Structure 1
Amino acid sequence: MSAARKPQSPARKSSPWTRYAIAAVVVAALAGGGYWYYRQRGAEAEASAYRTAKVQRGDIRVAISATGALAAISTVDVGSQISGQVLEVLVDYNDQVKKGQVIAKIDPSTYQTQIEQGSAQINSARASLATAEATLRNAELDYQRKSTLVGQQLVARSDADLARAARDQARAQVASAQAQIHQQIASTQTTRLNLERTVIRSPVDGVVLTRSVEPGQTVAASLQSPVLFQIAEDLKKMEIVLAIDEADIGQVKAGQGVSFTVDSFPDRQFRGKVQQVRLSATNTSNVITYPVVVSVDNADQILLPGMTANAEIEVSRRDDVLRVSNAALRYKPADDDPAAAQGPGGPGGPGGMRGGGMADDLPRVVEPLRLDATQRAAFDAALVEMKQRSAARQAAAPANGGGSPLFGGGRGPGGGGGGVVMMRSGGNANAMMGAMRQRMQERFNQQFGAFRASLNPQQQARWDSEVSALLNARRAPLYKLVAGKPQVSLVRVGASDGSWTEVSGDVREGDEVIVGSGRNGK
């Protein structure tokens, strides 16, 4: 028997509303996906329209390049004060010499003969003196006798007058003979000095750089002293005289570090220090330069006089600061670029700019000061007061961007839109900016006066220097790329090494900044 079959249930029919709902969900998903896809493509296309670089932390070293020649600190030209034939030369090139050491001899026979002649003339003058003294004694006695006889009216008064005149003449002869002796002694002493000068000695301890005399050579010192030797006093200490352009000389100060290389040791860096900035300018083809003396330690004496030094004077160094590529500060958007609508002069005008104020930079300034608890409390109180006053000024003048361009907050350069206009103008606007900076300096001194008074002299010097740099810093627009959109900020510009520039304000490490446009390969 076959098994009995179960009766089949009739198939369920789906509702048309269910199909409509499923279709609607699918269409919505496709539309949403398409919207998201095209939006992403648009954002990527807009972002790819710009070339960007990241804001980094790093060091900035500002240096001035110059060349100069190495030389000994003290080089002595040894010459001859007398004329004569050179008998001996006792030193040669590179010889070490001591002060007072005999280095050459000139024939002394001429001066020895002159001394003998002078001695004979002195003896002759002394004999003349003895004769004059004898004549004087006789004249004295004759005058005494005739004076007595005149009183007795035994001789005429004229005879007594003649005796007195003879006495006076005898006295003059004695004085002349004595003067002749002194003259001959002095002349002989001069000849003795010249005799001593026939032996040439080193005036200093040092090394012989040059020797320009040979035995048998005749030295003529009639017009000027001929240079026979050149002696460097100490080659363990040397110097470089660099010619610095007038555009850079204002940055050079005594004590700054100098690094240099020489062609003989191209892989080795040598160090020096600025010793002196000389005021004697040199004009070469209308190019004004100033000599800068750099002291160099040459303890191992591998540096030689005359070597050409390729030097760099480190005039500024900023460690661990925010920096951007110089291309980011040079970037200017084209008129049809969306970024132009935010920059100075664009549809958004200066008011579109955002900038960070000094309040953002001051904590960084005080970090190296190592404040104690009392100083930290004074600083925090002054900083809070400054922020409150800045906020009050912005609230009081929202329409015209009344924030300070120096203290921050608002839409302008650190706070007010007007600051941008002044920075971009000339003449009178620059004067207005200078006056504004002066007012800000006075206000700043009032707000942080108590804090500054709590610092020691070294801390005060560092604080004053950093604050002055912030107040007088140049402002520049920087275009950041935020969520694929260009956004302009006004930042303070600090030291630059030609490739990187220090910045502060409305900028953070890792921000993407625009360095060029991808449109048309710009």
Structure 2
Amino acid sequence: MANCAKLRSLHSYRHALAISALAALAFAIASKPTVAQERQAAFDADCLIEPSARVELGASVSGLVKDVLADRGDAVTAGQIVAELDSGVERASLEVARARAENDHEVLSKRSRMEYLTKKSNRITKLAEVKAATEASRDESDSDLKQAEQELREAELSVRMAQLELRRSEALLEQRMIRSPYDGVVIERTLSPGAYLHDQAHVLTIMQTDPLFVEVYLPLERLGKIQVGDLAEVYPEVPVGRSLTAKVSVVDPFIDAPSATFGVRLTLDNPDGSVPAGLRCTIRFRTLVAGQRHDAG
């Protein structure tokens, strides 16, 4: 009888373990995302890495190219002079304007004369009050003082006009300088020293590589699942060979009817310039699953 009781107890224990295991398995199956949900959580799309800006550099005036200071493949910085037109006349005009703007001798002379006439007028006024000077002499002194004040104002105005002319000459010279509008890389050089630059031509083509733009077109069913500010993993083709993180900056509010797609632009920081523009890539987004949003990672 004792052996039968032990057997019944062991059987009950195994039955309880089996029920517990089945319950755990059922809970795991219920809590695990389905294949469809996993596909909804992460999906890949083809993309293209492009420069954030591209500009053909010319000048606001026409002229003979004096020098080109950058060539294809050179890195340039914002404000750097990359080319220069012939500016001999503008430089000479600038020197004349600077000399005039810095010449304040006439102002100093007129100011000194006015100070002298002010003191003289004060003395004559005091003498006239005690009848030691005539009214005519006081009127003459006052008139001389007013004339000196007017001459000082005219001299100061002349200096001011000379300073404005200096600024104008500097601006005219600056028009002959061609500067890079941003940090970037020269990808094309079209003119050399001695060539004539007209209003339809350009000297260099520069593209901005920090940041880069990642352009991708997604199918219509993804509309509303991508939001500005979302993160995504970008997998460029070789030679980068590593994943990068980009942030959604533009989601087109319209659909391309023939292809039933919409465009998305992401911004990719590239401070060291290690990622070249023009690469094809694959991008992985994280979208909504069961009402929750997941970042890329």
Q: Which category of TM-score, normalised to the shorter sequence, fits these structures?
A: 0.5 to 0.7
What SS is found at the alignment partner of 1:251? Answer: coil
Match of 1:229 in 2: 204
1:95 matched to 2:69? The reply is no
| Mapped contact 1:100–1:204 kept (Cα < 8 A) | yes
| Mapped contact 2:209–2:277 kept (Cα < 8 A) | no
Match of 2:130 in 1: 152
The equivalent position to 1:167 in structure 2, one of 125, 130, 145, is 145
AA aligned to 1:70 is I
Q: How many residues align?
A: 253
AA aligned to 2:232 is Q
| Mapped contact 2:209–2:276 kept (Cα < 8 A) | no
What CA deviation, in whole Å up to 9, does each residue of 1:185-225 have, x standing for no partner?
3432553465467554556654212334443344568xxx9
Displacement of 1:74 after TM fit? 5.8
Displacement of 1:80 after TM fit? 4.1
| Mapped contact 2:217–2:261 kept (Cα < 8 A) | no
Match of 1:111 in 2: 90
Percent identical pairs in the alignment equals 16
Correspondences of 1:64-213 after superposition (within 5 Å): 69-73=48-52, 78=57, 80=59, 84-97=63-76, 103-122=82-101, 126-130=104-108, 132-133=110-111, 135-137=113-115, 139-140=117-118, 142-153=120-131, 157=135, 160-192=138-170, 195=173, 198=176, 200=178, 202=180, 206-213=184-191
What SS is found at the alignment partner of 1:87? Answer: strand
- Residues of 2 paired with 1:108 and 1:89: CA distance? 14
Match of 2:226 in 1: 252
Displacement of 1:167 after TM fit? 0.9
What SS is found at the alignment partner of 1:71? Answer: strand
Distance 1:282 1:83, change over 3 A: farther
The equivalent position to 2:215 in structure 1, one of 231, 236, 241, is 241
What SS is found at the alignment partner of 1:86? Answer: strand
Match of 1:281 in 2: 253
Q: What TM-score, normalized by structure 1, do the two folds share?
A: 0.38
Match of 2:23 in 1: none
Distance 1:270 1:116, change over 3 A: closer
Q: Where do 5+ consecutive residues of structure 1 fail to align?
A: 1-56, 318-464, 470-522
Q: Where do 5+ consecutive residues of structure 2 fail to align?
A: 1-33, 293-297
| Mapped contact 2:44–2:285 kept (Cα < 8 A) | no
AA aligned to 1:255 is L
Displacement of 1:64 after TM fit? 6.1
Correspondences of 1:101-500 after superposition (within 5 Å): 103-122=82-101, 126-130=104-108, 132-133=110-111, 135-137=113-115, 139-140=117-118, 142-153=120-131, 157=135, 160-192=138-170, 195=173, 198=176, 200=178, 202=180, 206-219=184-197, 228-234=203-209, 238-244=212-218, 247-253=221-227, 254-258=230-234, 273-278=245-250, 281-282=253-254, 289=262, 291-293=264-266, 295=268, 304-305=277-278, 309=280, 311=282, 313-315=284-286
- Residues of 2 paired with 1:142 and 1:300: CA distance? 73
Measured on the aligned residues, the alpha-carbon RMSD in Å equals: 4.8
Q: What TM-score, normalized by structure 2, do the two folds share?
A: 0.59
Larger radius of gyration: 1
| Mapped contact 1:83–1:218 kept (Cα < 8 A) | yes
Distance 1:164 1:252, change over 3 A: same
